[in-house]
Amino acid sequence: MKVKKDKVQIITLGCSKNLVDSEHLMAHMKAGDIEIVEEGKKADVVIINTCGFIQSAKEESINTILAAVENKKRGKIDSVFVAGCLSERYMDDLRKEIPEVDEYFGNTYEKKTVFGILNSLGIDYRKNLIGERLVTTPKHYAYLKISEGCDNPCSFCAIPIMRGGHVSTPLKEIINEAEKLSDKGVKELIIIGQDTTYWGKDINGNREISKVLNGISNVAGIEWIRLMYAYPSGFPDDLIQTIVDNPKICNYIDIPIQHVSDNVLKVMRRGTTKSRQIKLLEKIRKEIPGVAIRTTVLTGHPGETEKDFEELLDFIKEFRFDRLGVFTYSEEEGTHAADLKDSITQKEKNLRQKKILDAQKIISLENNSAMVNSSIEVLIERKENDYYIGRTYKDAPEIDQEVYIESGKKLKAGNFYNVRVTDFEDFDLFGVLNK
C-alpha cells in the first residue's frame, strides 16, 4: 500500500528510548518530503510506537491503537501502522485481534522495521541519514541512546524478550549523532540504554562507558552530560573517577537498585548483594563531590516478605537517596518471575509503594529546606504564568525536581542562570536571580 506524501502523525508511548526511535524515523520521513503533523492535527496516516513494558503500558498502547482504528472507521484517517515493543512481542495476537490496522512492525530501531514503514509511505531509506533525528524535546536537551537490548537476566523484566540481547552502538556513530545534536543547539545530552554501563562488553569484553562519556565531552557545544540506567552489578571501576575528572559530566547518576534484601535480590536474579550495593553507593557518594544519586525500587516482587520490605524501607530512610522512583511488581508473560507464586495482593503492593514514597517525600523536603539561601546553577526550560522553570544538575527532565524562578528580566530557555533559593516544597525549589 502506497500513501506517499500524506500527512503523518507519530504517537510515541513509553520510555525515552522509544522517543529516540521515533525521532530517527521522523528524520527519514522529513527527508522524503512527508509532512509530520502534531497530535490533534489532521493526519492521513497514524503511526503508533507502542510500549509493552508493564501491564499499564500495554493497556495504554492497546487503547491508543483502538482509538486510531475507530478514527479510521469514521474516515478521519486513511491508515494505521503499529510498531514498537508491544507489536514486537504480540504481533500475531494483535493481527488477529485488531485486523483493522494496516500493518504491524517490530521495534522501530530495527532497520527492517524502518524500511517497512518508509516503504509503506512511498519513500526510501537513506543511509546518509544515520544519526539524524527530528528532535521533539525542547531544543536544548536530547536523549542519546548508546545501545539496544539487554543481557541481564532480571526475573521481572521482559525487555530482553522485546528488544533482544545487548548491542553496543559503535562509538563513531554515537559521536556522530552527538555532533549532529549539538549542531541543532542541544546543550545537554542524556545518555540512555537498557544498561548503559554494559557498553563495550559485546565489542571487546570490557565495560567502556567512560570511553563513550569522554568522547561525547569533546563535542563542542555540549555542556551537560547526564548518565541514566547504570546497572549496579558489574559497575565499571573507572566510571566514578571519569565523572570526577570530567566537568561536562553531571555529578548525577541513575543507578536502579530495585531492592536491598539479599533474599529478594537473589529471586530477582540481579547478580549482586546488599553489601556490594551499599559499598558501591557509599563509594559514589564519598568520591563524587555533591553527587545526586537517583534510584528505582520495586515492591511486591514474588517472594518479598514483610521483613524484606521493611529492610528496603529502612535502607531508603538511612541512605537518603537524592531522587527515587518506585514501581509495583507487574507479572510479565515469559519472564522468570511469571513462573513464581505471586501471593502478594495488589493492595499490599500499593501500600508498600506508598510507604516508600512517603519516606522519600520527607527526605526530599528536608534536603530542599537545607537549600534555602544557597546559590545554584539552573538550566531554564520554559515559562509558565509568572515563573521561569528550570533544572539543576541534580535533575533529569520529567522525572526529577524543578526550580521555579521569579524574574523581572526575560530569561531564555536553554541558558544557564545563577539562582538563589528562597523557598521550597516537597519536590521543587523556588528562587530569584542572583544580582
Residues 250 and 155 in one domain: yes
Neighbours of 127 (CB within 10 A): 7
Is 105 inside a domain boundary?
Answer: yes
What pLDDT score does 25 carry? 87
Residues 176 and 307 in one domain: yes
Given 369, 387, 410, the domain boundary residue is 369
Q: Which domain CATH number covers 281?
A: 3.80.30.20
Query: 252 CB contacts (<8 Å, ≥6 apart)?
Result: 226, 227, 291, 292, 293, 294, 393, 394, 395, 396
Residue 258 DSSP label: B
Given 129, 156, 191, the domain boundary residue is 129
- The count of structural domains within the chain is 3
* Spatial distance between the Cα atoms of 237 and 75, rounded to a whole number of angstroms: 58
Question: What does the block give as the cell for 364?
Answer: 526530599
For the stretch 36-54, pLDDT in tens is: 988 778 888 999 999 887 7
Is 1 inside a domain boundary?
Answer: no
Q: Which domain CATH number covers 52?
A: 3.40.50.12160
What pLDDT score does 10 carry? 92
Residues 246 and 296 in one domain: yes
Average pLDDT in the chain:
92
Is 135 inside a domain boundary?
Answer: no
For the stretch 118-173, pLDDT in tens is: 777 777 777 667 778 889 999 999 999 999 999 999 999 988 888 889 999 999 99
Residues 330 and 392 in one domain: no
Q: Which of 125, 123, 101, 134 is nearest to 3 (CA)?
A: 123
Q: Cβ distance 254 to 398 under 8 Å?
A: no
Residues 271 and 408 in one domain: no
Residues 163 and 269 in one domain: yes
Q: Which of 284, 254, 260 is nearest to 273 (CA)?
A: 260
Is 346 inside a domain boundary?
Answer: yes
Backbone angles phi, psi at 51, to 5 degrees: -120, 140
Between CA 148 and CA 155, with CA 149 as vertex, the angle to 5 degrees is 155
Given 90, 105, 129, the domain boundary residue is 129
Give Cα 228 distance to the centre of its chain. Answer: 7
Q: Which of 287, 373, 301 is nearest to 341 (CA)?
A: 301
Residues 322 and 365 in one domain: yes
Q: Where are the alpha helices (DSSP H) in 184-289?
A: 201-204, 209-217, 239-245, 262-268, 274-287
- SS3 of 31, please? helix
DSSP codes of every residue in 377-400: EEEEEEEETTEEEEE-TT--TTTS
Is 118 inside a domain boundary?
Answer: yes
What pLDDT score does 5 carry? 62
Residues of the chain with pLDDT under 70: 1-5, 108-112, 127-128
Domain membership of residue 107 as a residue range: 7-129
Counted residue by residue, the chain has a size of: 435
Is 134 inside a domain boundary?
Answer: no
Residues 152 and 247 in one domain: yes
Residues 49 and 181 in one domain: no
